[in-house]
A and B are shown apart, each in its own frame.
Chain A
Amino acid sequence: MNDLADPGYSLFIVAFAIQLLAIVFLSIRNERTALFSSSIVLVIGLILGLISTFSSALFSSVEIPGRTFFSNWIRLDGLSIYFIFIIQLVAIPTTVSGISYLNHYIDQKRSVKSFFIFYIILLISTQFVVIANQTIFFLVSWEVMSMSAYLAMILEREKEEVQRGSFYYFAASHVLIFILYIMFFLLHHQTGSWYFSDYHLSFSSGIVVPLIFILSLIGFGIKAGFIPFHFWLPQAHPIAPTVLSAFLSGVIIKMGIYGIFRTFLFLKPVPEWCGWLLLIVGMISAIFGVWYALAQHDIKRLLAYHSVENIGIIGIGIGIGFIGSANNLSSVQVLGFGGALLHTLNHAIFKSLLFIGSGVIYRNLGIRNIELMGGLIHRAKYIALFFLAGSVAISGIPPFNGFISEFIVYTGFFKTANELKNYYPILMLMFVVGLAFVGGLAVGCFTKVNSVIFLGSERREVKRFHSSIYDYVSLGFLSLLCILIGFYPQPFVGVVNKVISSGFLNGNSSSALINIDWHYFTLIFSSLAIGIILLYLLKLKLEKKYGRRTSAAWGCGYENLTPRMQYSASSFADELNTIPKTILVYQKEVEISDSPYPVSSGFESHSKDFVDYKIVLPLFNFLRSLAARIGFLSQTDIRYYIAFILIIISIYGLIAFLWV
C-alpha cells in the first residue's frame, strides 16, 4: 500500500473514488437535481483525474518509469497515461453536454437514472481497461465496459432501430471477447504469466505468435471498426443517446487501437507483412468508410461511418510504424506511430464534438435525417460555427488539428520511401494518393453535411431551437482544442513522441517527429488568420463606403423559389456515390412520370452496408434455415425418445466394442 504514498497516484485514486461517488447522487428523488449533481461530481472527478494525469511523468520532462501498482495489477506506462488522458479529456465535455441533452429525455417523462449509472460505470471501466496490467482484470474491465455501454444504449429501447442496433453491438462484442480469450490464452501459454509487463515475444518463434497477432488484429479490429469488421458500428452508434454515442465514437472504439498498440508492445519488433496488412486494411477502411458516409442521410450514421474512416487513417499510421519497426528505422516508426497516436487524440476530440453537435440538433428537431433540415445557421449561429470547426478538422483541412496528424502520416510515407529505396516509393506513393483521395471525399462529405444541415433555408419548419449553456461550454471547449492543436502542435507532438520513445522503438530514439518545422505551422496559420481578419476589416470598410444590401438569390428568372428546390444531400453526393454502386449497395428510386401534365415525382437514394447485407445476414439466415431443416430432433411422441436411447446405446456400445 505504499503506492498510496505517491501524491500523484493518490490523487488518481481520489479521482476514481469521486467518479464512483457520482452514482450515489443519483439516489436523489428529483430526476433533474439528481442528474445535475451527479454529473457535476463526475466532472469534478474527471478533472481531478486529468490533473493527476498531467502531473504524471508523461507531461513532465523526466523519463516515464512505467510503474506498477497494487501488486502489479495496474501499470502506468506512456501508452496507458496517454489513453487515459484522451478518455478524461473527452469524457468531460460529453458529460457536460449530457446535462442538457438528458434533460430533454426527462421532459419526455423518461427516467435516465439507469442510463446515467451505466454511463458512469462505462467511464470508470474504460479507464481501467487502459491501465490494467493483469489479463483477467483487463478482460473483466473490457467486458464491463462493453456491457455497460450496451445497457446504457438501450435507453429508448421500445424503438425498433434501437433494438436492432444495440443487438448488433451486443453480438459483435461477444464475438470479440471470444477472440480475445484465445489470444490471451496463447499469450499466457507462451509466457506463463498473467501480467502484461511480462509479455515479450519475438516473431521468430513458430506459428503461435503470428496467430496471436492476427487474433489481436481481428479482436481489437472489431472494436475499432476496421472494414470488414465495421458492420456493427454504423448500426449501434446512431441509436445510442448522443451523449453515449459521442463517447463511443470518440473513445470506446479507440480501445481497439489501444489493444493493437498493446499487442505491438508484446510482440515488437513485428515483421513487415504486419505493416502491409495494417496499411491495406486501413486504406480500405478509410476510403470506403468515408464513401459509405457520403451515401448516408442519417447524420449520426454518417458520423459513425466517418469513425471507420478515421480509424482507417490511424491504422495506416500504425502500419507505417510497423514497417519502420520491421526495418529497424526509428525515424519511420516515430512518424507512423506519432501520426496514429495524434490522430487518435484528434479524432477523439472532433468526433465527440460533431456527435454532441448532432445531439443538439436531434434534441431540437427530433429527426436525424439531414434531408429534412437546413437553414439552421440562422437559428443557432454558434452551434453551426462549432460544428463547422469540427467538420473542417475532420476533413484534415488546415489550420485545424486533423491536418496535423494527417501531415505526420504523409511525412511518414515520404520518409519510408526515402529511407528504404527500391520499390517502396511506388507503393508509398499509392498510399499518399489514397490518403489524398480520402481527404477529397471527406471534403465532399462534410461540405454536404454542413451545407444541408445549416445553410440555405429550412426545408421543414422549425418551431423553436433552444441550445443551452452546457452545449456551448462543451462544444466550445472541444473546438478550442481543435484550433489549439492545429495552431500550436508542439506540446502535443512532444507528448506523443515521448509515448513512442518509452518502449515502442527497438532502435535508438529518433527526433524525426520533433524536427518537423512545427513553428512554420504556427507562423503560417496565424498569418492566415491575421490576413483574414485584416481583409475582413477592409471588406467592412469598403462595404460601408460602397454600400451593401441583400436581395433574393438568382433564380434564372424564376421568382418564387421554395426551400424544397434546394440542392439536397442525395443530389449533392449522387455523382460520387454512383461510382462504387455495387459496393455501397447504392440504390436510387426515381419516379418521374412522362405525362405532359405536372404530377408529383420523387427521388430517393439508399445505401446499405455491403458486409452486413451480403455476408452477415445471409450467413445467419443460412444457419437458421439449416436449423429449421433438422426436424427429427423435435419429435413430440415419447416413443421416439425411447428409440433414441436404444439407438444411442447401440452406437456407443459398438464404439466400446471396437475401441482398442
Chain B
Amino acid sequence: MGLTFLQGIISIIVIMALAPLFAGMVNKQKAILTGRIGAPVLQPYYELIRLFKKETINAGTSSFISRISPLINLVSMIVAAAMLPVGFWKPIISFNGDIILFAYILGLARFFQILAAMDIGSSFEGMGAAREATFALFAEPIFFFTIGSISFISGYNSLFDIYHSIQLNNVSYEVFIIVCSISVFMLAVTECSRMPVDDPNTHLELTMIHEVMILDNSGIDLFLYQYSSYIKLFIYALLEISFFYPFSQKSNSVGILIFITGSVALTFVLGIVETITSRYRMKNIPQYLLFATAIGILNLLIYTFTK
C-alpha cells in the first residue's frame, strides 16, 4: 500500500514536472523541421516563471468567475493527471469507472474556461468559447469510443486495470492500437488546440480557439492557464502512450522505458504533423472530428468481428 501510494505521488510529480518540457520539445522539433534553430527546449519553463512574476490585469467587466476559473482548470488537470498510470505504477486515483471521472473532470475544466471567456464580455472571447463548446461536443464521443472499447475488451473500466489486464494473445489488439492511437491523436490535437485544428502561435484573434479564450488574462491567471494547457497536452500524450503498455509483459522497467521512448517519439510525431499540415478552416473542423468519430466506430467493428 505505502509503496503504491508513493509511486502514485511520484508519477503525478513526474507528469507535472515534465509537461512543459514535452511542449518545449515539440516546439523544438517544429523549429528544426522548418529549418530554424528555435527556442530552447526549456523555453516553456522560462515563460511560466516570467508569467508568475507579472502583474495581474482583469478586464473591467469580468467577475469572480474569471478569477477562479484558472485555478479550477489547473486543479482539475492535476486530478486528471493523477489517474494516469506511469509505467505500471498504480496512480493515486484508480477505481472502477475512473475513466468516466477522467472525462468529466476535463469537462469541469472546460466548463469554467468557457464561462471565464464569456465573462470578459468581449466578442472575441465569445467566439472562442462558442468554438470550444462546439468542438468539445465532438471530442467527447471520440474519447468514449476509444477508451470505452478498450475497457470493453479488457472488461475493466479503470485506466490502470485496463492496461494491466489486456492479454496480447487477443490477436486483434495490434490492429486495434493503430486505430485507437490515431483517433486519440486526433482527439489530443483537438483538445489541446494544436494544428491542424487550432494554431497555438497564430496572431489573428479570429482564427484562434484556445488562445483567444485567454486573451484577456495575464500574470498568475495566464500562468495557470498555460501550465494547465501543458499538462493537458501531456495527459493526452500519456493516454496515447499507455496503449503500448501491454507490450511490456507487465515488467515495470519496460513500462518506464515505453513511457520515456513513447513520449519522445510522440514529440517527433506531433512536430512532423504540425509542420506538414496547415490549419483547417473553421467550418471544416466538424468534418475532421466526425472523421475521428468514424474511426472510433471502426474500433467497435474490429472489436466485434475479431473475437
| Direct A–B contact present (CB less than 8 angstroms) | yes
Binding site for B on A (CB under 8 A): 374-375, 377-378, 381, 384, 388, 392, 395-399, 403, 407, 410-411, 414, 417-418, 423, 425-426, 428-429, 432-433, 436-437, 439-441, 443-444, 446-448, 450-452, 454-457, 516-517, 520, 524, 527-528, 531-532, 535-536, 539, 542-543, 546-556, 561, 563, 565-567, 571-576, 579
B58 lies within 8 A of chain A by Cβ: yes
- CB contacts (< 8 Å) of A454 on chain B: these are 63
**Pick the contact of B104 from A425, A439, A532, A552 — CB < 8 Å?**
A439
Bound CA–CA A381/B118 (angstroms):
16
From residue A354, how far is it (CB to closest CB) to chain B in Å? Answer: 15
Q: Are B140 and A436 in contact (CB under 8 A)?
A: yes
- CB contacts (< 8 Å) of B123 on chain A: these are 565-567
A392-B111, A433-B148 known; A411 and B61 CB under 8 Å? Answer: no
**Pick the contact of A535 from B52, B75, B125, B136 — CB < 8 Å?**
B75
Q: Are A436 and B141 in contact (CB under 8 A)?
A: yes
From residue A591, how far is it (CB to closest CB) to chain B in Å? Answer: 19
A443-B107, A553-B59 known; A546 and B54 CB under 8 Å? Answer: yes
B121 lies within 8 A of chain A by Cβ: yes
* 40-66 of chain B: CB within 8 A of chain A: 52-65
A-side interface mostly:
helix
- CB contacts (< 8 Å) of B157 on chain A: these are 411, 414
B25 lies within 8 A of chain A by Cβ: no
Q: Which of B181-189, B213-221, B260-268 contacts A (4 or more CB under 8 A)?
A: B213-221
**Pick the contact of B65 from A377, A531, A535, A542 — CB < 8 Å?**
A377
Bound CA–CA A428/B205 (angstroms):
41
Bound CA–CA A517/B161 (angstroms):
15
Q: Are B126 and A566 in contact (CB under 8 A)?
A: yes
Q: Are A528 and B76 in contact (CB under 8 A)?
A: yes
A418-B155, A517-B95 known; A566 and B122 CB under 8 Å? Answer: yes
B-side interface mostly:
helix
From residue A617, how far is it (CB to closest CB) to chain B in Å? Answer: 31
- CB contacts (< 8 Å) of B63 on chain A: these are 377-378, 381, 384, 454-455
Some 7 contacts from A to B, beta carbons below 8 A apart, are A426-B300, A433-B144, A439-B104, A456-B121, A551-B57, A553-B121, A556-B124
Q: Are A414 and B58 in contact (CB under 8 A)?
A: no
B120 lies within 8 A of chain A by Cβ: yes
A423-B304, A520-B95, A548-B58 known; A532 and B71 CB under 8 Å? Answer: yes
A433-B145, A536-B71 known; A528 and B79 CB under 8 Å? Answer: yes
**Pick the contact of A567 from B118, B152, B216, B220 — CB < 8 Å?**
B118
Bound CA–CA A429/B174 (angstroms):
21
Q: Are A543 and B97 in contact (CB under 8 A)?
A: no
Bound CA–CA A527/B81 (angstroms):
14
Q: Are B152 and A429 in contact (CB under 8 A)?
A: yes
Binding site for A on B (CB under 8 A): 52-65, 67-68, 70-72, 74-76, 78-79, 93, 95-98, 100-101, 103-105, 107-108, 110-111, 114-115, 118-127, 129-131, 133-134, 136-141, 143-145, 148-149, 151-152, 155, 157, 205, 215-216, 219-220, 224, 286, 296, 300, 303-304
Q: Are B74 and A535 in contact (CB under 8 A)?
A: yes
Q: Are A553 and B122 in contact (CB under 8 A)?
A: yes
Q: Are A444 and B134 in contact (CB under 8 A)?
A: yes
- CB contacts (< 8 Å) of A547 on chain B: these are 55-56
From residue A18, how far is it (CB to closest CB) to chain B in Å? Answer: 42
From residue B108, how far is it (CB to closest CB) to chain A in Å? Answer: 5
Q: Are B120 and A432 in contact (CB under 8 A)?
A: no
Q: Are A414 and B107 in contact (CB under 8 A)?
A: no
From residue A140, how far is it (CB to closest CB) to chain B in Å? Answer: 44
Bound CA–CA A426/B153 (angstroms):
11
Bound CA–CA A556/B220 (angstroms):
23
From residue A437, how far is it (CB to closest CB) to chain B in Å? Answer: 6
Q: Are B122 and A561 in contact (CB under 8 A)?
A: yes
Bound CA–CA A546/B220 (angstroms):
9
Q: Are A451 and B115 in contact (CB under 8 A)?
A: yes
Q: Are B57 and A549 in contact (CB under 8 A)?
A: yes
- CB contacts (< 8 Å) of A532 on chain B: these are 68, 71-72, 75
Q: Are A542 and B52 in contact (CB under 8 A)?
A: yes
Q: Are A436 and B103 in contact (CB under 8 A)?
A: yes
Bound CA–CA A403/B111 (angstroms):
14
**Pick the contact of A437 from B78, B104, B137 — CB < 8 Å?**
B137
From residue A200, how far is it (CB to closest CB) to chain B in Å? Answer: 35
Bound CA–CA A629/B216 (angstroms):
66
A398-B105, A436-B143, A542-B220 known; A572 and B71 CB under 8 Å? Answer: no
- CB contacts (< 8 Å) of B126 on chain A: these are 451, 566-567, 571-572
A451-B129, A551-B60 known; A576 and B134 CB under 8 Å? Answer: yes
Bound CA–CA A270/B124 (angstroms):
54
Closest residue of chain B to A378 (Cβ to Cβ) is: B63
Closest residue of chain B to A440 (Cβ to Cβ) is: B137
**Pick the contact of A517 from B96, B107, B129, B215 — CB < 8 Å?**
B96
- CB contacts (< 8 Å) of B304 on chain A: these are 423, 425-426
Bound CA–CA A546/B50 (angstroms):
12
**Pick the contact of B152 from A407, A425, A563, A574 — CB < 8 Å?**
A425
Q: Are B61 and A375 in contact (CB under 8 A)?
A: yes
Q: Besides the contacts A433-B141, A531-B78, what 20 more A-B pairs have beta carbons closer than 8 Å? A: A388-B115, A395-B107, A426-B304, A444-B133, A444-B134, A446-B111, A451-B114, A455-B121, A516-B97, A531-B75, A535-B224, A546-B55, A549-B58, A552-B60, A553-B120, A553-B121, A554-B59, A556-B205, A565-B123, A575-B134
